A and B are shown apart, each in its own frame.
Chain A
């Protein structure tokens, strides 16, 4: 996919390029207004790109919509059901539009919707609406699913249930593209992450790669005060720094791997330093995200 979108005033998405491999979970991560929904809705055929090309399953989302619709499941960020429809009724209606839908009852049970299956949409809580919307996206047994912020506003249990389902979809060979601004979600759930900001991809890779690409990790070391920090720094890889912000409390900034820890403890043994505690702080995707997109509010 490579396309641009937006008018004179706002270019929501500008020369964004990304590809999604079949049978994987891809997260599109970005701050509010980064162009996540614009991107996903262009793939869903709701918006026509003004330049560039979008191919979904090798087809044009607008021109080949009829062929694509049965194959692609969509979860909108909000809405999508009549106010007066019952949750189970809406799901059965969706199922009736497809040739080989999932059986509705087991799906209702699987997503914990039994208690509100007979409740009208207008009376559902935000989380219940989200679960219905997710069920609606997959009931037609699509091969590709677009989920726009699938866990926004969910309680922790429902979030886990959604994650489990996405994971299970992957095991069944379904391709999932989701947007989120929860870092832990992207880190836990996805095979690939594309971080986008101001309509462009600013970083792509597996969650591990993205974190590893980032700046140094931190090691916090507690022991006696007054160590020779320069000597310790020389023992560590080039670029490492060692500081003692409080007596006996050292902060080492360095790339961390097992060999580095071995050298650290070796240095301690050679200098007769008994370590009270050593704590390795891994950089999370969140750190990396903030590093890439900046910390200011927008």
Chain B
């Protein structure tokens, strides 16, 4: 039998090391999870390819101008909302949050790891989806301003959708979160102003859609890549959602 030194030598790893370890772990687990990869990469990729080859959904001679920003917005929602909510809900159910909360990582480190993993995944999504869109012929009018606004709106959208995702995960049962997070993803994709521009929605619904975080994100990105600015209105809408969702998650999230 190997001799093992069991004598106490307590101590926490540095905060940076803990955060790095947790972020890397979150990333590995997400990448290994097939369903999450389908939601975050496969579906946006397919929508981009199919949408650019068909004029059924977007009636324009430059469909990618409409489609590509929408797919980037969808990518933001897929990681910060759907994937985050489902993963966190099961972590809560299986006591991972509880167990890691009792290590030097603590709850703030858990949250930090999630933020890090989501951010890295989103950068990868932007690279893959944006790259493919360009390869398919996407030539936005305002590429530089568009990318800057992608990062700004992406940050606000991530806080808003991340807060909503954590709110689901921290209050509902894991199965309910799984079902709702996927359902909301599909609903926002189709009717939330994310993928299809506002003028493709029924007239009566347009007012509501512009007030949704998905509508603000989709419209804002399309505007930014076309004209160089998303307009004040969508920034305000997204910022309000970000503040409200983060506060609600902080207030109601239960760790066990």
Contact = CB atoms under 8 A, between A and B. Distances in A.
Interface of A: 44-46, 65-66, 69-72, 74, 76, 78-85, 93-94, 96-100, 102, 106-107, 109-110, 136, 138, 140-143, 165, 168-169, 172-174
A70 B12 contact: yes
Nearest to B2: A106
A141 B6 contact: yes
Interface string B214-243: 000000000000000000000000000000
A107 B29 CA distance: 24
Question: Mostly helix, strand, loop or mixed at chain B's interface?
Answer: loop
Interface stretch (B63-71, B99-107, B145-153): B99-107
Contacts of A142: 8, 10
A85 B5 CA distance: 26
A70 B106 CA distance: 10
B25 interface: yes
B115 to A, nearest CB: 17
Given A96-B18, A174-B6, A140 B103 contact: yes
A133 to B, nearest CB: 8
A44 B103 CA distance: 11
Interface in B62-109: 90-91, 94-96, 98-99, 102-106
B11 A69 contact: no
Nearest to A102: B4
B55 interface: no
Contacts of B17: 96
B29 A97 contact: no
B13 A96 contact: yes
A169 B9 CA distance: 13
Interface of B: 1-2, 4-13, 17-18, 21-22, 25, 29, 32-33, 90-91, 94-96, 98-99, 102-106, 256
A69 B29 contact: no
Given A76-B98, A97-B12, A98-B104, A109 B2 contact: yes
Contacts of B6: 102, 138, 141, 165, 168-169, 172, 174
Given A97-B13, A100-B9, A172-B7, A84 B29 contact: yes
5 contacts: A65-B106, A85-B25, A102-B6, A107-B4, A172-B6
A97 B5 contact: no
Contacts of A138: 6
A102 B12 contact: no
B21 to A, nearest CB: 4
Contact of B12 (A78, A99, A109, A172): A99
Given A96-B13, A109-B2, A140-B103, A83 B94 contact: yes
Q: Which 5 A-B pairs have the closest CB atoms?
A: A99-B11, A79-B95, A80-B99, A143-B8, A96-B21
A69 B11 CA distance: 9
Nearest to A85: B29
A84 B90 CA distance: 11
Given A93-B25, A140-B104, 15 more contacts: A66-B106, A80-B94, A82-B91, A83-B94, A85-B29, A97-B18, A97-B21, A98-B11, A99-B10, A106-B2, A107-B4, A110-B4, A138-B6, A141-B6, A172-B6
B256 to A, nearest CB: 7
A84 B28 CA distance: 10
A174 B8 contact: yes
